[in-house]
Amino acid sequence: MTGLFISFEGIDGAGKSTHIETLAQAFRAQGRTVLLTREPGGTPLAEVLRTLVLNEAMDAMTEALLVFAARRDHLQQKIQPALARGEVVLCDRFTDATFAYQGGGRGFDLKVLSTLEQWVQGIDDGAKSAIRQPDLTLWFDLDPALAAERLASARVPDKFESQPVEFFSRVAKAYGQRMAEQPGRFARIEAANSREAVGQAVILAVQHKGYLP
């Protein structure tokens, strides 16, 4: 069985996290082994880097280097081995979040991010070089004003969650640009709908790709 790599993206408050477990159950019901993981994080080292990125003030380049360092460790230690074993990897955020948050939100150079992406996710199989990307990215798209309302009633905000709504407008726009550049990999989920409707849209998007019956 070939491995399957699915990432979940969207601005803070878009509500992606609750649907990851539901999708995991759908795959397990098919007899698949599922690895649930997240970025930044997923390995002991990457989780330490996550704590720094989410809590310490730093410039955009430092942030970008740390999330890519975490991603490198995560890919090497966890994601690639799981895919090689034929497992389903469900990852709460991946590189699109870097293009959205550090690129869009912070205004960091997208060309530098592309170079880092090539370094960190490059696969060299002799004949050609490719970039390791998710097979499918579910983008939970929600109006930043609505997301801010949802977040306000939730927990204590971290460094990103406490950003103003304009920051998230730029993040959302950058997600849209990523999808426009790589339309085949993305499915846009209308995250303003009810939890049930969003859950159904997630399953449908995965079925549409032929990953679930």
**Residues in the chain, total:** 213
Retrieve residue 67's tokens.
């999330």
> Which residue, 12 or 87, is less far from ligand TYD as judged by CB?
12
Give me the least distance between CB of 201 and ligand TYD, in Å please. 20
Task: Give 36-88 as a DSSP string.
Answer: EEESS-SSHHHHHHHHHHHHS---HHHHHHHHHHHHHHHIIIIIHHHHHTTPE
Q: Which is closer to ligand TYD, CB of 27 or CB of 140? A: 140
By beta-carbon proximity to ligand TYD, the closer residue of 19 and 93 is 93
Nearer residue to ligand TYD within complex by CB, 54 or 130: 54
Residues of the shown chain interacting with ligand TYD in the complex, contacts defined by CB under 6 A = 12, 17, 39-40, 54, 67, 92-93, 97-98, 101-102, 160
Minimum Å gap between C-beta 98 and ligand TYD is 4
Residue 5 — φ and ψ, nearest 5°? Answer: -120, 115
Give least dist CB 158 to ligand TYD, A: 6
Retrieve residue 84's tokens. 């090689």
Whole-number minimum distance, CB 111 to ligand TYD, in Å?
17
Nearest C-alpha neighbor of 9 from the set 71, 90, 114: 90
